[in-house]
Structure 1
Amino acid sequence: MQTLPNASRRNFLKLAATAGGGLLLGFNWTETEGAVVATDATAVNAAVPGVGFNSYLSINPQGVITILSPNPEVGQGIKTAFPIIVAEELDADWRKVVVEQAPLDTKKFERQVAGGSGSIPHSWTRLRQAGATARQMLIGAAAKRWNVPAAECTTASGSVIHTGSNRKLTYGELATEAAQLPVPTDVKLKDQKDFKIIGQTIKNVDNPGIITGKPLFGLDFYREGMLFAMIQRPAFGYTLKSVNDTTIKAMPGIVDVVTFDNNVAVVGKSTWQVKKAKDALKIDWTKTDATESTDDHNRLFKELLDKPDATVRRKDGDVDAAFKSAAKVVTAEYQCPFLPHTPMEPMNFFAHVRPDGVELVGPTQTPELARNETAKLLGIPPEKVSVQLTRMGGGFGRRLKADYVIEAVQVSKRVNAPVKLIWTREDDMTGGSYRPAVRYRFQAALDAQGNMIGYKLRGASINAGNSTREDNFPAGAVDNLLIDSVDHKSAITTGPWRAPITNFLAFAEQSFLDEVAQAAGKDAVQFRLDLLEKAKAKPAGAVKYDVDRMVGVIKLAVEKSGWGTKKGVDGNAVSQGFSVYFSHRSYVAQVGEVVVKKGKPVVQKMYAVADCGVVINQSGARQQVTGCIVDGIGHAMYGNITFKDGVPEQTNFNTYRLIRLNEIPDVEVHFVDNGMDPTGLGEPALPPAGAAVANAIFKATGKRVRNQPFAEDEAFKSVS
């Protein structure tokens, strides 16, 4: 068993007992120490007002254990993973564990965010402490009733057991008595070898509701008497001049047409009536000098890459001397386009602005931002704004912003009524916040033995800020290194897109490393291992990744994929491409397998090895890795948004290409079992996917794909 040191303890709050029976534990998600109190409760949602706690573990007299989960559920399985962790330390009967979504409450919770693959790393110890504390109190209650030492009692499947006297009591039977005992200041956490639930395959707790159509998502939310709204937004670089609002207001079911911030909002009694009225809008827009086209961006990239001055992100050694003495210099440029987020559920939110405050309900990855932006807009204290979270039908970073929430607030305020704002798919694709567009220029200097003695990377981007990750591999493995960046500010709105920056940087970096390995006459995997050995034995500057963990995923991926040994079947040779990346505190290596069928490269299999520490739920973890890979290769091969005079040219899935079912390869997932605390998993498997496929395509065709989407790259198209 493992005892938590005092510095790792979380505050447990013991509240006064009520007549209903049951144990309710509040546990603090912050680092502060404080008083501890416990209580009885009959309902999981019966939170005691005015008590400084952040989340609750409750046990009712029937033995049902409930977690009030603060983090938004965006499809990453957090509502399943959180109770798994608590149930493990509690030795609970999993069939009696449930979880409820908490509203935003910054006094009780911290980090109510779905982003950065950080929910589990942040909550791991806190949740374990919650379960272990309750378990120890239940043991204490049983020991007191039986008049035996607590050390003689054990737990299993929601019961306390005294083997010596062959007695057993369920947690439900003990909950009320346990609530009367002092909360322990030191609790013991399980050794990982004793885990019974963590690491198993557990079904998502929301599956029954999703399958049966329960109203879980933002689009499902309905309030009697609410109005519906849709908005026509300007293209990028345009301003509103006039609109035929009088005609629209006369249409059936339309309550009002309001304008704000260059937007035109149609408000009515039903979604269909509002949609028809929105389609009938005739708006005169004024074009400004800020409008841009994709052709402008392509010319701009060249200027940015050749710009004499740039922001230096990292510089090690004497780069100029290394390139001057090089036996060979390898140069390549890689480009990635704007991408929309395209979640299955378009943006939507409910807002009711009242004299006494504001009620918000809907899908957001950052509820606190939604609250604060609303309070700022209306000039009211944040405490006057309540935010209730719904499950999200995808987000991928789009719902980290609060623009669509503020739109709902603006409309509700103007029409003085509760309003459900709904974006159409076209709205979502053309008026959204895109992944930035970027072009990279790489240069590598090789000595006569094929060793990389110099490395340069410049990132030229549109609205990305720093389009590099200057401390990621191969930084620290090359003596002479220069990484810099330049950025162009555009009217086109951009924002985080699943695995921000690394989602396209990894494709470029890992593809270029294959080019360098080829020029050096070395195996692509061995080339990386040699660099990592250098980073460990004789680092060049700071090494901010774990060399051993990266080497570990590489070697396991080589083993599981049979790297370099595949012969192919049915006359189709199998070509393998390799990629490895570190992001969101996790390490993922991938091998993509491509065959050429009818003159066209086809991705038939992907191997993935992830080192993300302890795997909470095998089912959820495998789904996350598989989903990342499908998302990664699908967008690398097909995704693209282009602009003409500030107007997006792709407006729906008939013109914006997604990967199709028959194009999804078989995905084989493996995890490194190192016993470390869990790290991120919602994003790390996406960045290396594109390069694994691109490198396999080169092996299969002899043509290097340097631009996304691959399907539009001349090298890819010339294969067929």
Structure 2
Amino acid sequence: MSTSSITFSRRSFIRTSSLASGGLLIGFNLFTACKPKVQPPVDISKLNFNDFNAFIKIADNGAVTIFSPNPEIGQGVKTAMPMLIAEELDVAWNNVYVQQGILDTENYTRQLAGGSQSIRLGWEPLRQTGATARQMLVNAAAARWGVDPSECSTSEGVITNAKGETLGYGDVVKEAATVEVPEGVTLKAPKDFKIIGTDAKNVDIDKIITGKPLYGLDYKAEGMVYASVLRPPAFGKILESYDDTDAKAMPGVLDVIKIGEKINKLTEEGKGNWTVNMGQSDKVVVIAKSTWEALKAKEAIKAKWVDGTPLESTQMQDKKLLDLLDGKELKTMRKDGDIKKAFAQADKILERTYESPFLPHNCMEPMNFFANITADKIHLVGPVQTPEFAATAVADMLGRDVDQVHLEMTRMGGGFGRRLYGDFVYEVAEIADAIKKPVKLVFSREDDMNAGTYRPAIKYRIKAAVKDGEVTAYQLKEAAVNGNMYGLIPNFFPAGCIENYQVDVANYKSNITTGAWRAPYTNFLAFAEQSFFDELAETMGVDRIQLRLDLLQKAKGSTDERMEYSPERMENVIKTAVEKSGWGKQPDGTYQGFAAYYCHNSHVAEVANVELENGLPVVKKVTCVVDCGIVVNPLGAINQIEGGVIDGVGHAMYGELTFNEGKPQSENYDTYRLIRMREVPKVETHLIQNELAPTGLGEPTLPPAGAAVANALKAATGNRFTQQPFTKFPELMKVPAKPILG
């Protein structure tokens, strides 16, 4: 059992059961409908609903609809977060229906999707809300019976006393509203969970597989027109003039306008800092009766672009990043001991440089958004990971009160960090404000690839000293396009394991827009560090697994509050991965690579199996062990784990976006390489069972995947990879011919 540390005032609890951390808000009147043995309807749209508040609708037969405030990008929070409330409330999960809520900054906090934090931060507040409501209902029932509340129990919306008498939640809800809001409510022990830890299918799955409207691209409104934007052909270009004569003559075209003044001002004022800049150029917009007509007419516009900020190439940025690693502009983020002294006294020194390319986000659903702006309302609808930020920026851009913004979130066909940035929302808002009509902006795939935010190109240089068989110094240098957004990386493994330890970073400012990409920065750093540790073990002549375990021993019991990971939990996933993967026990022809990593509060170890086919290595299987604490929805968790592994393998093997004079060299999937179905390895998942609070899961399995594959490729080919994507270096993928003896 655990005790709640959150208390509720009567007004806040009965009105909304307000939660910290942006979790679900659930109206107290929900309980009037909790009746025993209620059969959920097949089509709840035909029921007579009563609106109790902004978050809950109750049907007269007891069906409950909970509005989920957090954006859903496929990470499963729209299913998992309501499970937490239903667990402690003690209602049947099959009587709960979930719908996407709107942006509501008055009643919710952290109403966003990012950082794999939704379940972690909502774990206690969501459960405490359910438990507090349940206890109030029990207290009311006990008062009616004249017994002590401790003599009562609940199950699926029914309260039972010691005599076996029962009352439904709905029978006592009015009395419950008059009792004191209890403090220090008792939460269920994990052994008593009925919903948490059981498989629950995605609440939207039936609509997804039958093509029902859920996504931004599905949204339609009466009188709606469509917009397609002609943006600069390269980062650093600015619009000088354009001829729209041919475009206006095409079928379905309603108008051609220019935008950019309001967005550019927003950016200059620093209020829209999460925008795609593209040199702050004006843009040309085609307004048409359909998406296709708008897209085709855009191709007919004759625009003249001139140079603004300096144009860049991938080669130029590569050189500048390497120069930064050698230069004096590095900023120290953590420094333990004296690395210079340790390197000077070393028996052996190993130094390697690792290089990663830009990557686009490749969301299956291209960017899109709807806007209708009238004198008294700004109506926005679409897929965005940061709805509050977008709404505030739009209000600032248009000189309106943010209270006038009504933003509805749709399910997203992928986000991966791209939809953290509201450039497409600002564009459609400026368009709607100009044309005074409801309008939907739709990107083409080419728009998505050319006008995106990209994973930044990064270079890492890692150097280690060995003295008397021990690792005595470790230095990590990072040079990143547009800088490192996160300050936690210096406190991940091997921080705390090596006496002399230093992390330095440098920032190369680029006009190419970069931003968060699934598991920001760690998505490549894990490959660099875990590849390095394998090579370091070879240099030292020790077992690669044992090297990691020995280092972790030195971090155990540390009082360093900066250290983010748990040495004990990391050790456990490593040992479990060794056992479950059959490490070192595979038949001839199977080559294995190992990696372990901590990020987004979770510990992961992975083993990749590679086999040779026609003389080339092929990734056949990845064994993945995850410690993410209590798993709320195992079915959803496995989906996230497998997706992260496949994403990590695919981008490490194939993903790369290059630039020439500021222009992306891939515009669609005919030239941009993604992993294909036949290349997807089998993923075997093992979840560490414990009773610790849940941690992140949408991102942590991606970073170690590339490292595990790289280390397996080394075992198969004898060649080390220091750059991604691996297939860019076919000479390293080839297995050296065996010498002819004779």
Q: Same fold (TM over 0.5)?
A: yes
Alignment of 1:478-489 (within 5 A): 478-489=498-509
The answer to whether structure 1 residue 505 and structure 2 residue 525 are counterparts is: yes
Alignment of 1:506-585 (within 5 A): 506-536=526-556, 542-568=562-588, 573-585=589-601
Number of the residue aligned with 1:29: 19
Q: Structure 2: how far apart are the matches of 1:510 and 1:11?
A: 50
Number of the residue aligned with 2:472: 453
The answer to whether structure 1 residue 404 and structure 2 residue 394 are counterparts is: no
1:379 to 399, 403, 417: 399
> 1:37 Cα deviation (Å)?
9.8
Q: Which amino acid aligns with 1:620?
A: G
Q: Which amino acid aligns with 1:201?
A: D
Number of the residue aligned with 1:465: 484
In the alignment, is the contact (CA less than 8 A) between 2:50 and 2:58 conserved in 1?
Answer: no
Using the TM superposition, name which of 66-75 and 654-663 deviates more.
Answer: 66-75
> 1:638 Cα deviation (Å)?
0.6
Q: Structure 2: how far apart are the matches of 1:541 and 1:102?
A: 38
Number of the residue aligned with 1:233: 231
> 1:58 Cα deviation (Å)?
6.6
Alignment of 1:173-188 (within 5 A): 173-176=171-174, 178-188=176-186
Using the TM superposition, name which of 666-675 and 689-698 deviates more.
Answer: 666-675
Q: Structure 2: how far apart are the matches of 1:207 and 1:39?
A: 28
Residues 354 and 141 of structure 1: is their aligned pair in 2 closer, same or farther, counting only changes over 3 Å? Answer: same
Q: Which amino acid aligns with 2:542?
A: K
Residues 31 and 331 of structure 1: is their aligned pair in 2 closer, same or farther, counting only changes over 3 Å? Answer: closer
> 1:112 Cα deviation (Å)?
0.1
SS of aligned partner of 2:587:
coil
Number of the residue aligned with 2:219: 221
Q: Structure 2: how far apart are the matches of 1:512 and 1:539?
A: 27
Number of the residue aligned with 2:104: 105
In the alignment, is the contact (CA less than 8 A) between 1:511 and 1:691 conserved in 2?
Answer: yes
1:325 to 336, 339, 345: 345
1:368 to 369, 388, 403: 388
TM-score norm. by structure 2 comes to: 0.89
Alignment of 1:623-642 (within 5 A): 623-642=639-658
> 1:28 Cα deviation (Å)?
1.4
In the alignment, is the contact (CA less than 8 A) between 2:29 and 2:52 conserved in 1?
Answer: no
Q: Structure 1: how far apart are the matches of 2:309 and 2:256?
A: 28
Residues 163 and 63 of structure 1: is their aligned pair in 2 closer, same or farther, counting only changes over 3 Å? Answer: farther
Number of the residue aligned with 1:245: 244
In the alignment, is the contact (CA less than 8 A) between 1:10 and 1:126 conserved in 2?
Answer: no
Q: Structure 1: how far apart are the matches of 2:12 and 2:166?
A: 25
SS of aligned partner of 1:470:
helix
Number of the residue aligned with 2:129: 130
> 1:589 Cα deviation (Å)?
1.1
Number of the residue aligned with 1:267: 287
Q: Structure 1: how far apart are the matches of 2:131 and 2:557?
A: 42
Task: Count the aligned residue pairs.
Answer: 695
Q: Structure 2: how far apart are the matches of 1:369 and 1:47?
A: 28
The answer to whether structure 1 residue 676 and structure 2 residue 696 are counterparts is: no
> 1:602 Cα deviation (Å)?
0.8
Q: Structure 2: how far apart are the matches of 1:610 and 1:12?
A: 41
Q: Runs of 5+ in structure 1 lacking a partner?
A: 16-23, 49-54
> 1:144 Cα deviation (Å)?
4.5
Residues 357 and 372 of structure 1: is their aligned pair in 2 closer, same or farther, counting only changes over 3 Å? Answer: same
Q: Structure 1: how far apart are the matches of 2:69 and 2:385?
A: 11
SS of aligned partner of 1:673:
coil
The CA deviation string for residues 30-54 of structure 1, in whole angstroms up to 9 with x for no partner, is 399xxx9955778878354xxxxxx
Residues 249 and 507 of structure 1: is their aligned pair in 2 closer, same or farther, counting only changes over 3 Å? Answer: same
> 1:679 Cα deviation (Å)?
1.1
The CA deviation string for residues 26-79 of structure 1, in whole angstroms up to 9 with x for no partner, is 2112399xxx9955778878354xxxxxx8567655333332211111111111
The CA deviation string for residues 454-487 of structure 1, in whole angstroms up to 9 with x for no partner, is 1121111212336882111112111112221112
SS of aligned partner of 1:164:
coil
Residues 540 and 266 of structure 1: is their aligned pair in 2 closer, same or farther, counting only changes over 3 Å? Answer: same
2:197 to 196, 199, 207: 199
The CA deviation string for residues 526-584 of structure 1, in whole angstroms up to 9 with x for no partner, is 1011111112267899533211111111111112112222225xxxx211111111111
2:435 to 395, 415, 428: 415
Alignment of 1:674-713 (within 5 A): 674-713=690-729
Q: Which amino acid aligns with 1:156?
A: S
In the alignment, is the contact (CA less than 8 A) between 1:38 and 1:183 conserved in 2?
Answer: no
In the alignment, is the contact (CA less than 8 A) between 1:11 and 1:27 conserved in 2?
Answer: no
Q: Which amino acid aligns with 1:91?
A: D
Q: Runs of 5+ in structure 2 lacking a partner?
A: 34-47, 261-281, 737-742
> 1:492 Cα deviation (Å)?
0.5
Q: Structure 2: how far apart are the matches of 1:537 and 1:129?
A: 32
In the alignment, is the contact (CA less than 8 A) between 2:20 and 2:122 conserved in 1?
Answer: no
> 1:182 Cα deviation (Å)?
4.2
Q: Structure 1: how far apart are the matches of 2:78 and 2:559?
A: 41
Alignment of 1:49-88 (within 5 A): 56=55, 62-88=61-87
Query: Alpha carbon RMSD of aligned pairs, Å?
Result: 2.3
Q: Structure 2: how far apart are the matches of 1:13 and 1:715?
A: 69
In the alignment, is the contact (CA less than 8 A) between 1:240 and 1:285 conserved in 2?
Answer: yes
Q: Which amino acid aligns with 2:247?
A: I
> 1:281 Cα deviation (Å)?
2.0
TM-score norm. by structure 1 comes to: 0.92
Alignment of 1:340-351 (within 5 A): 340-351=360-371
Residues 504 and 718 of structure 1: is their aligned pair in 2 closer, same or farther, counting only changes over 3 Å? Answer: same
The CA deviation string for residues 70-112 of structure 1, in whole angstroms up to 9 with x for no partner, is 1111111111101111111122111101122211111110000
Q: Which amino acid aligns with 2:216?
A: G
Number of the residue aligned with 2:270: none
> 1:713 Cα deviation (Å)?
2.5
> 1:626 Cα deviation (Å)?
0.7
Residues 703 and 45 of structure 1: is their aligned pair in 2 closer, same or farther, counting only changes over 3 Å? Answer: farther
Q: Structure 1: how far apart are the matches of 2:670 and 2:88?
A: 49
SS of aligned partner of 2:528:
helix
